[in-house]
A and B are shown apart, each in its own frame.
Chain A
Amino acid sequence: MALADRRRINGPLTGTTPPLFTSTPESPISLKSARDIRPVFIKTSLTPPAHGSAYLEIHTSTLKLSASVYGPRPLPPSAPFSPHARVTAEVKFAPFSTPGIRRGYVRDNFERDLSSQLQIALCRAINTAKYPKSGVDVFVTIIDTGSNAREVNEFEILTAAINVSSVAVCDAGVEMVDLVSAGFVGRDAQGDIVCDPENVMEKMCLVSYMAARDEITMVWTKGEMEGEEVVKMTDVAAETAGRTRGVVSEAVKERVWSLQLGGKPDVKMSG
Chain B
Amino acid sequence: MAATLPPIATPGQPLGSSTTHTAGPGTSLFSNQIISTIAGAVSVIPASGSSLPAITVRRAPLTSTSASTSVLPTVSSIVLARVTRINPRQATVTIFCVGDVPLNDEFQGIIRVQDVRATEKDKVKIFESFRPGDIVRALVISLGDQSNYYLSTAHNSLGVIMAKSEVGDLMHPLNWRQMASTRTGAVEERKVAKPV
Interface residues of A (CB under 8 A from B): 45, 48, 51, 72-75, 77, 79-81, 83, 125, 127, 131-134, 170-179, 210-213, 249, 252-253, 255-257, 259-261
Residue numbers in A under 8 Å from B26 (CB-CB)? 175
Decide if B69 touches A132 in the complex (CB within 8 Å): no
Residue from the list A72, A132, A176 in contact with B38, Cβ < 8 A = A176
**Are A75 and B146 neighbours in the complex by a CB distance under 8 Å?**
yes
Main secondary structure on chain A at its contact with chain B? loop
A125–B108 Cα gap in the complex (Å)? 28
Which chain B residues border A81 with CB–CB below 8 Å? 145-146
Known: A253-B8, A256-B40, A256-B60. A77 touches B146 (CB 8 A): yes
Residues of A contacting B106 in the complex (Cβ-Cβ under 8 angstroms): 74
B104 & A73 in contact (Cβ 8 Å cutoff):
yes
- B residues 13-61 near A (Cβ < 8 Å) are 13-14, 26, 28, 30, 35, 37-41, 58-61
Smallest Cβ-Cβ distance to B146: which chain A residue? A81
B8 lies within 8 A of A133 (CB)? no
- Give, as a whole number of angstroms, the nearest-CB distance from A97 to chain B: 28
B147 lies within 8 A of chain A by Cβ = yes
7 A-B pairs, CB-CB below 8 angstroms? A170-B11, A176-B37, A212-B14, A213-B30, A252-B39, A259-B61, A259-B64
B72 touches A170 (CB 8 A): no
Judge whether A178 and B12 touch: CB under 8 Å: yes
**A80 vs B146: C-alpha distance when bound (angstroms):** 5
**Residue-by-residue, is B134-148 near A (CB-CB < 8 Å gives 1, otherwise 0)?**
000000000101110
User: For residue A174, which residue of chain B has the nearest CB?
Assistant: B70
Judge if B96 is at the interface, Cβ distance under 8 Å. Answer: no
Q: A-contacting residues of B (Cβ < 8 Å)?
A: 7-8, 10-14, 26, 28, 30, 35, 37-41, 58-64, 68-70, 72, 104-108, 143, 145-147
Is A261 a contact of B10 with CB atoms below 8 Å?
no
Residues of chain B within 8 A (CB-CB) of A171 are 39
The 8 tightest CB contacts between A and B, nearest first, are A178-B12, A212-B12, A176-B11, A175-B37, A77-B147, A81-B146, A252-B39, A249-B10
Looking at B10, B38, B58, B68, the one whose CB has the most chain A CB atoms below 10 A away is B10
In the bound complex, how far is the Cα of B41 from the Cα of A212, in angstroms? 19
Tell me which of A77, A79, A212, A257 contacts B8 (CB under 8 A): A257
Contact pick for B37, options A72, A177, A257, CB 8 Å: A177
Give the distance to chain A from B68, nearest Cβ to Cβ, in Å.
Answer: 7
State in angstroms the CA–CA spacing of A210 and B108 once bound together. 36
Taken together as a complex, chains A and B put the C-alpha atoms of A269 and B147 apart, in Å, by 45
Q: Do B35 and A212 touch (CB < 8 A)?
A: yes
Residues of B within 8 A of A212 (CB): 12-14, 35
